[in-house]
């Protein structure tokens, strides 16, 4: 039987350092393994969930889409199974213009650091824009899985 590995702890400095190192491996020549985003678009895209988690953005799906996400996709979004390739991107997460890689990398690292330093207790029972109240573990899984998914998209 295949056992699923637990998701690394986003509230631990070693996990954050590892994610920073993976982010540092990206450059404008890094090719994607699937999808349509460029590296700079992916970095900007990955900032959005952190901005939402930190209360810097309040845009989210409409009530009907929230109901669908909570009813049918919540479990797969917060469990410990990595996201599969080529999942659809929510309209509010689409980045269609080119960005400066260094600026977006720095912004993402700063947001990741802020999220991590708040600690698990800050996220226990906190509402997520689309999914409602989540445990700190669910927040951890959601955030790590999304970022890891896109880092794997670019082979890092």
pLDDT at 70: 82
Asked if 15 and 22 count as a contact pair (C-beta separation under 8 A), the reply is: no
User: Rounded CA gap, 129 and 49, in Å?
Assistant: 9
- In the predicted structure, residue 123 carries a pLDDT above the cut 90: yes
Residues 33-89 pLDDT 10s: 999 999 999 999 999 999 999 999 988 877 888 888 788 889 999 999 999 998 888
pLDDT at 18: 98
Q: Give all domains of the chain, ordered by start, each with its CATH number.
A: 13-153 (1.20.120)
DSSP letter at 12?
S
Asked if 16 and 67 count as a contact pair (C-beta separation under 8 A), the reply is: no
* Residue 55, CA atoms < 13 Å, CB-side half-sphere: 6
pLDDT at 81: 94
pLDDT at 71: 85
pLDDT at 3: 59
Question: Sorting pLDDT into bands at 50, 70 and 90, what band is 4?
Answer: low
pLDDT at 12: 98
User: Rounded CA gap, 138 and 19, in Å?
Assistant: 18
DSSP string, 88-108: PPPGGG---S---HHHHHHHH
More confident residue, 74 or 1: 74
pLDDT at 89: 84
- What region, left, alpha or beta, does residue 32 occupy, with left being phi > 0 and alpha being psi -120 to 50 degrees? beta
């Amino acid at each position: 039987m295949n056992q699923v590995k637990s998701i690394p702890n986003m509230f631990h400095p070693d996990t954050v350092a590892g994610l920073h190192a993976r982010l540092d491996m990206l450059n404008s020549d890094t090719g994607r393994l699937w999808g349509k985003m460029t590296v700079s678009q992916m970095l900007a895209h990955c900032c959005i969930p952190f901005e939402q988690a930190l209360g810097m953005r309040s845009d989210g799906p409409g009530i009907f889409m929230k109901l669908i996400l909570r009813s049918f996709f919540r479990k797969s979004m917060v469990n410990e199974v990595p996201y599969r390739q080529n999942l659809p991107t929510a309209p509010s997460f689409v980045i269609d213009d080119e960005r400066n890689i260094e600026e977006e990398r720095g912004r993402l690292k700063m947001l990741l650091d802020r999220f991590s330093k708040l600690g698990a207790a800050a996220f226990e029972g906190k509402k997520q824009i689309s999914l409602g109240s989540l445990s700190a573990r669910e927040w951890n899984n959601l955030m790590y899985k999304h970022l890891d998914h896109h880092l794997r998209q670019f082979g890092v």
